[in-house]
Amino acid sequence: MTRAPVMAAGGIVLRRGEAPLIAIVRQRKRNEWVLPKGKLDDGETPRQAAHREVLEETGHDVALHEFLGTLVYQSGGRSKVVHFWRMEAEGGPVRKLMNDIKAVDWLTLDDALARLSREYERAFLTQVGPIAIAAAGLTVATATEPTPALAADDIDAALQTLTPAEAASVDELRHGLLQKVRAWLRGEA
């Protein structure tokens, strides 16, 4: 008998500044850097859970914007399905971090990609990060020395490590993102 997937939600959380910054959080238990997200509570919608989890994990109240996509991966022998929204934080933290989180850091897209501990989250953020930044009306700042980007071979190698469910999630995400970009280019978004 297949166990039901764990449903979760989170955000690609942006903060405006000289360069747009993205929030990532450090888990206390595993000491890993991850995107802010968490499980849905009973009776909670994914959108409500995303807002609550981001507040708990980053300490920042955020404005929720458009849905960015879904990431599916294996966790504890079960599939975990995480829905992500674009979010924006203004000002400083409004509460302490939850006990499960050791730290929050605000990084440029390239630095966030380099710091994330999980390959599947890097692959996801590689796809949705630029879309979230563009949707916020921001541009990625270019450094005086170019930051090394992920080469196509690196991305292909990372994709080879995904389980079939994770690979299907990436394919679904690509398709959904392409549809959003096409609609945006047609002026429909």
pLDDT tens-place string over residues 1-10: 678 899 999 9
Domain membership flag for residue 157: yes
**Structural domain boundaries enclosing 70:** 6-185
- Report the domain count for the chain: 1
pLDDT at res. 158? 60
Is pTM beyond 0.85 here? no
Domain membership flag for residue 123: yes
For 119-136, letters b (16+ CB in 10 Å) and e give: bbbbbbbbbbbebbbebb
Cα–Cα distance list, 7 to 39, 48, 65, 126 (Å): 6, 13, 20, 22
What is the residue-level pLDDT of the chain in tens, covering all 189 positions? Answer: 678 899 999 999 999 988 999 999 999 999 999 999 999 999 999 999 999 999 999 999 999 999 999 999 998 889 999 999 999 998 899 999 999 999 999 999 999 999 999 999 999 999 999 999 999 998 875 443 444 444 555 555 665 666 666 666 666 666 665 566 566 556 665
The CATH number that applies at residue 166 is 3.90.79.10
pLDDT at res. 144? 38
Domain membership flag for residue 10: yes
pLDDT at res. 142? 46
